Amino acid sequence: MSNKSTAAATAFEQLKQKAAGTWNTLRDKPLIMVGAATCGRAAGAQDITKVIRDELASRQIEATVIEVGCMGHCYAEPLVLIQKPDNPTICYGYVSEGLASMLVREFIAGDDPCIEFALAAMEVNDFIPTFEDFPRGMVEKKVVMQHCGIIDPENIDHYIANGGYEALAKAIDKSGEEVVSEIKTSGLRGRGGAGFPTGVKWETCRQFKEDVKYVICNADEGDPGAFMDRTLLESNPHQVLEGLALAAHAVGASKGYLYIRAEYPLAVERIKKAINQAEESGLLGESILGTDFNLTLEIFQGSGAFVCGEETALIASMEGEPGIPRHRPPFPAEAGLWGKPTVINNVKTLSYIPHIIRKGADWFRETGTPDSPGTAVFALAGKVINTGLVEVPMGVTLSQLVYDVGSGIDGGKQFKAVQIGGPSGGCLPESFLETAIDFDSLNQAGAMMGSGGMVVMDEDDCMVEIARYFLDFTQNESCGKCTFCRLGTKQMLEILERITKGEGALEDIDTLLNLAKNVKTGSLCNLGKTAPNPVLSTLKHFRNEYEAHITEGRCPSLMCLNLIAYYILPDKCERSCDACIGSCPVESIFSNEDRIKVVDQEKCVKCKSCMDACPPQYSAVVKLSPPELVQEKENDNG
């Protein structure tokens, strides 16, 4: 490339200077950032913002308050970041309304940064540790989440000031072919589940000499326990748009869509704003940055069907049809939306693109493993202490995620398994804790990278029940077109329901295994082909739990409602306490002649209220399995 700056480069330089101006003036006075993505909002972030604004107003303090996205530390929501001139930026967690006004009073108005409430500092300093000083920070490596939670997602200048749209400005002067080749060299694999090489997909699409082509961002995130894509859309919408624009430039498309899940209203709103801002700045729309590259982006909202995440079903629904997958080939890259060559990529995949173009394929390959370069984003949930979103290099082990990032199991319980990949993934037991997290190792272990949902389970979680739960989900979400998925998952679910109710037979396990195998081979699309994974993996690693349900009518984890009973230990019951009686929603607990509380098993709906209500110093309520044990206990007590 010559040093002579092109028209596009000049145009972009102007945008950059303006953005730098906005960004730098932010630093002149105190800046308060409230994490207000959906997770933060649920924890009350908007009330916190209001308290802060009111408190500032009543004290007539000049400060900027902005709502930012999510940093991933969801366990500590609501989160507030304060940047005061001459101080490091400090992140506070578990912010209540009281703490919020105190921070304004003591730190903004006064001088006391209230260190005792700080989670960590954002920059290295002498008195507060940074996130990198904690085990979680040592494992984490942020690429696509780098700016989530520290820039205003509704302000394009914040994105540009942090390197945003530089990749587009750079690529627009190159040919699409060069962009494709850079992505190919980077080895980036699709983060939507299957891990297909993105560069190869783009190359296929690019080859077709058609006038009309489409690029689509798949933001239909349907895994019932994952919200990485939503967070990226809400916290850094421009990053996705830039990725989509680069994809369009690479394959020669001038029309793009973002297919966003129905339940994500905030994401839709933020993407809409971002598209408008980018168009106003000449980064989208007609003749982008003064070149002959045009791209219009539109939002298409899903209507609530998990299967629409599957690319051919997604296309069907955009064409005004029920979301029913069709046979591939042809692949969308050859014949997609309205029969035209179409590139479909996941939100995360697209979010990596600007970084790769800006910093180069070699930079990208420095992180991760040779076959799965880069980082992985997970929604860590379940029984770990620190839940939330994490971004780690591919290749870290499961145990690092559970113990370093998640800080181990909640409540001193015993780790049992981790479920990866949601409804299409599998459960891995303790012996797999050293498994590396990358596409191929997980596949080999019988799980799947899938969408990035990761649920940690402890001794109280029943593996049969978790298999039943996921199968119930896929069975419910099956489109119903093909025999194996429609009826095979239904038959499997029937069996699992029998087992969790204690009505199973040992030969059911063989039938289940056979069904699972056939549904995997016979189904038309990957929904069916992967639906048996949760069952297969639990059967492989926790067959003893299935057998306990079947032969003993016992749920070892005391979870399956039909196989447990609540029982009040007479010698522990404190007679003068009535806490359990009051807590029971169906009046199933009564006081006997000795004023000891007894559960009427006929009436009990097993809602666990009494167990939660019983003061911890007595802990008189216990669960028994099989439920027949109650009779035994009662006989023992005479």
Partner 1 sequence: MKLTNEEKTAAIETSQRILSNYNQEKGSLIPTLQQIQNELGYVPSPAMEVVADHFNVMKVDVYSIVTFYNQFRLTPPGKNQVKVCMGTACHMRGGNIIMDSWKRRLEIDCGETSEDREFSLDRVACVGCCTQAPVTVINEEIHAKVTPTRVEGLLYAYQLDKDKENKKAGEDN
Partner 2 sequence: MGKKINLTIDGKKIQAMEGDKILWAALENDIYIPHLCAMKEQQQSPFAGCRLCFIEIEGKPRPVAACTEPALEGMVVNTRSESIDRLVEAGFNLIMSNHHIDCKICAASGACELQKIAKERKIRLKPKKLVQLDRNLPKDHSKDCIIYDPNKCVLCGRCVTACRTEGTAVLGLAYRGFERMVTTFGDIPLGETDCSGCGSCANVCPAGALIETDN
Nearest to 382 by CA among 439, 454, 444, 321: 454
Cα distances (angstroms) measured from residue 35 to each of 42, 95, 153, 234, 522: 11, 11, 11, 11, 46
Distance of CA 477 to the CA centre of its chain: 19
Task: Decide if residue 311 touches ligand FMN (CB under 6 A).
Answer: yes
* Position 218 contacts ligand FMN (CB under 6 A): yes
Pairing mode, if any, of strands 415-420 and 388-393? unpaired
Question: What does the DSSP assignment read for 21-81?
Answer: HHHHHGGGS-EEEEE-SHHHHHTTHHHHHHHHHHHHHHTT---EEEEE---S-GGG-S-EE
Q: Is 39 in the site for partner 1 (CB under 8 A)?
A: yes
Closest separation in Å from C-beta 515 to partner 2: 8
379 binds, among ligand FMN, partner 2, partner 1, none (CB under 5 to 8 A by kind): partner 1
Q: Is 527 in the site for ligand FMN (CB under 6 A)?
A: yes
Nearer to partner 2, 127 or 338 (CB): 338
Smallest distance from the beta carbon of 455 to partner 2, in angstroms? 24
Q: Backbone dihedral region of 419: left (phi > 0), alpha (psi from -120 to 50 degrees) or beta?
A: beta
Residue 7: half-sphere exposure toward Cβ, Cα within 13 Å: 8
For the chain, how many residues are written? 638
Tokens 């002959």 sit on residue = 292
Window 58-77: contact mask with partner 1 (x via CB under 8 A): ----------------xx-x
Among 89, 231, 349, 351, binds ligand FMN (CB under 6 A): 349
Q: Rule CB under 6 A: choose which of 95, 307, 524, 624 binds ligand FMN.
A: 307
Residue 605 binding: pick among ligand FMN, partner 1, partner 2, none (C-beta 5-8 Å cut-off by kind): partner 1
Which is nearer to partner 2, 24 or 476 (by Cβ)? 476
* Rounded distance between C-alpha atoms, residue 235 and residue 151, angstroms: 8
Establish if 94 lies at the interface with partner 1 (CB under 8 A). no
Pairing of strands 80-83, 31-35: antiparallel
Among partner 1, ligand FMN, partner 2, none, what does residue 507 contact (CB within 5–8 Å per kind)?
Answer: partner 2
Count the site residues for ligand FMN by CB under 6 A.
Answer: 22
Q: Which is nearer to partner 2, 92 or 484 (CB)?
A: 484
Single residue of 75, 94, 134, 196 touching ligand FMN by CB under 6 A = 196
Nearest distance in Å: CB 300, partner 2: 19
CB 429 within 8 A of CB 446: no
CB of 236 to partner 1, least distance (A): 16
> Could you say whether residue 227 binds partner 1 (CB under 8 A)?
yes
Q: Cα dihedral sign for 525, 464, 437, 141? A: positive
Q: Is 504 in the site for ligand FMN (CB under 6 A)?
A: no
Are 77 and 85 in contact by the 8 Å Cβ rule? The answer is: no
The residue (of 83 and 345) whose beta carbon lies closer to ligand FMN is: 345
Question: Vertex 456, ends 455 and 460: CA angle to 5°?
Answer: 120
Q: Check whether the bond before 78 is cis (ω within 30° of 0).
A: yes
The helix (run of H) or strand (run of E) holding residue 207 is helix 198-207
Q: Which two tokens stand for residue 494?
A: 């029937």
Shortest distance in whole angstroms from residue 227 CB to partner 1: 4
Least distance (Å) from partner 1 to the CB of residue 585?
5
Strand partners, 67: 34
Question: What is the rounded CA–CA span in Å between residue 378 and residue 396?
Answer: 12
By CB under 6 A, tell whether 222 contacts ligand FMN. yes
The sign one gets for the Cα dihedral 244, 24, 150, 68 is negative
What's the min distance (Å) between Cβ of 193 and partner 2? 19
* Element at 389 (helix H, strand E): strand 388-393
Closest by CA position to 626, among listed 522, 512, 500: 500
User: Under the criterion CB under 8 A, does residue 600 sit at the interface with partner 1?
Assistant: no
- What is the token pair recorded at 604? 């009990």
Q: Does 355 bind ligand FMN (CB under 6 A)?
A: no
300 is a contact residue toward ligand FMN (CB under 6 A): no
Of 410 and 440, which has the nearer Cβ to partner 2? 440
Is 467 among the residues that bind partner 1 (CB under 8 A)? no
In angstroms, the CA 196 to CA 199 distance is 9
- CA angle in degrees (0–180, nearest 5) for 553-557-558: 65
- CB of residue 530 to ligand FMN, shortest distance in Å: 7
Q: Least CB distance from residue 302 to ligand FMN, whole Å? A: 9
Task: Give the range of 59-67, 75-83, 246-254, 345-353 binding ligand FMN by CB under 6 A.
Answer: 345-353
Considering only residues 155 to 194 of the shown chain, the ones binding ligand FMN according to CB under 6 A are 190-194
Q: How far is the CB of 216 from partner 2 (least distance, A)?
A: 21
Q: Which stretch binds partner 1 (CB under 8 A): 108-116, 125-133, 295-303, 569-577?
A: 295-303
Question: Can residue 412 be called a binding residue for partner 1 (CB under 8 A)?
Answer: no
State which residue, 372 or 475, has the beta carbon closest to partner 2.
475
Contact between 263 and partner 1 by CB under 8 A: the answer reads yes
310 near ligand FMN (CB under 6 A): yes
Whether omega before 329 lies within 30 degrees of 0, making that bond cis, reads: yes
CB 168, CB 438: distance < 8 Å: no
Interatomic CA distance for residues 601 and 140, integer angstroms: 49
Residues lying near partner 2 in the complex (CB under 8 A): 305, 322, 326-327, 475-484, 486-488, 490-491, 494, 507, 511, 514-515, 518, 521-524
Quick one: which of 100, 13, 9, 90 has its CA closest to 54? 100
* Stretch of 334-342, 521-529, 551-559, 583-591 contacting ligand FMN, by CB under 6 A: 521-529
In the chain, the amino acid numbered 378 is: F
Within 10 A of 582 (CB to CB), how many other CB atoms are there?
Answer: 10
Residue 370 interface partner, choices partner 2, partner 1, ligand FMN, none, CB cut-off 5-8 Å depending on type: none
Residue nearer to partner 1 on the CB measure, 15 or 381: 381
d(CA 391, CA 131): 13
Find the part of the chain contacting partner 1 (CB under 8 A) among 34-42, 395-403, 513-521, 618-626: 34-42
As separate numbers, helices (DSSP H) first and strands (DSSP E) second, the chain gives 27, 18
The option from partner 2, ligand FMN, partner 1, none interacting with 481 (CB < 5 to 8 A, set by class) reads: partner 2
- The rounded distance, in Å, linking the Cα atoms of 104 and 82 is 10
Instruction: Write out the residues near partner 1 by the rule CB under 8 A.
Output: 38-39, 41-43, 74-75, 77, 222-227, 230, 262-263, 300-306, 317-324, 338, 379, 381-383, 387-388, 419, 422, 453, 455, 457, 461, 466, 469, 473, 479, 561, 583, 585-586, 605-609, 612-613
Instruction: Write out the residues near ligand FMN by the rule CB under 6 A.
Output: 190-194, 196, 198, 218, 220-222, 307, 309-311, 344-346, 349, 525-527
